[in-house]
């Protein structure tokens, strides 16, 4: 049996508003909303988010992160590197900086020609290399892409130059890193450490070769 329904009290009648009053209220509401929006934009302009906050927000939305310059910074195109003999060759050549030049010579006592210095430096680690620039150029693999700015070169590489004292291959030196070579140039300069990315040497650049005995396999040994 359902409970008897009671009669609900009658609500007071809402007075009707005139059209002019409704329009006035609507205009006021719109104006208030626009004012709030304007003030909010001005506040944001005067108080921009910190750079870190902006980057963090971008990252949280899936924006790509800046990793250029990290990946591949030390990447290599092969798995080979310099063996211990290379640093010994460089050390031997550097030990003669300030020494005497000679047209024909390959010992500290006699003085050094350019190829004599190369020959002597390699002999200090038990390696015999030719004592002429043309023979050096043909005896060892040419380094592809080698440039006077040091590109693709490693310490111990033999640098070759042409058309200096005579036509063809006419000068050789040892690359020691950082764009520098140890070279026996002339009686006036003797043996010196110098850059070769200069107008004179660039003009006579003939490439570079690498003695295979200076290179060792750097690939990791497979686990047994």
For 133-189, the pLDDT digits (tens) are 999 999 999 999 999 999 999 999 999 999 999 999 999 999 999 999 999 999 999
Q: What are the domain boundaries of the chain?
A: 83-213
Is the model more confident about 17 or about 63? 17
Q: Considering the chain, what percentage of its residues have pLDDT values greater than 70?
A: 60
Token pair 């004592």: residue: 131
Answer positive or negative: Cα dihedral of 96, 101, 103, 105.
negative
Question: CA nearest 113: which of 164, 176, 177, 178?
Answer: 164
Q: Which CATH architecture has domain 83-213?
A: Alpha-Beta Complex (3.90)
Euclidean distance between the first and the last CA atom of the chain, given in angstroms as a whole number: 90
């Amino acid at each position: 049996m359902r409970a008897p329904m009671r009669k609900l009290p009658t609500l007071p009648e809402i007075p009707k508003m005139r059209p002019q009053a409704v329009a006035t209220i609507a205009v006021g509401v719109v104006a208030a909303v626009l004012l709030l929006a304007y003030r909010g934009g001005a506040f944001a302009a005067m108080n921009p988010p910190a750079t870190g906050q902006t980057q963090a927000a971008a990252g949280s939305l899936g924006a790509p992160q800046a990793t250029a310059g990290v990946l591949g910074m030390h990447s290599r195109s092969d798995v080979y590197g310099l063996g211990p003999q290379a640093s010994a060759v460089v050390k031997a050549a550097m030990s003669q900086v300030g020494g005497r030049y000679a047209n024909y010579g390959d010992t500290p006592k006699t003085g050094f020609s350019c190829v004599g210095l190369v020959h002597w430096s390699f002999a200090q680690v038990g390696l015999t290399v030719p004592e002429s620039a043309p023979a050096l150029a043909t005896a060892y693999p040419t380094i592809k892409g080698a440039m006077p700015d040091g590109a693709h070169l490693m310490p111990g590489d033999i640098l070759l130059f042409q058309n200096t004292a005579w036509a063809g291959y006419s000068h050789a030196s040892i690359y020691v890193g950082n764009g520098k070579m140890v070279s026996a140039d002339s009686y006036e300069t003797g043996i010196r450490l110098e850059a070769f990315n200069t107008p004179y040497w660039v003009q006579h650049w003939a490439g570079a070769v690498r003695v295979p005995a200076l290179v060792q396999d750097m690939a990791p040994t497979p686990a047994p």
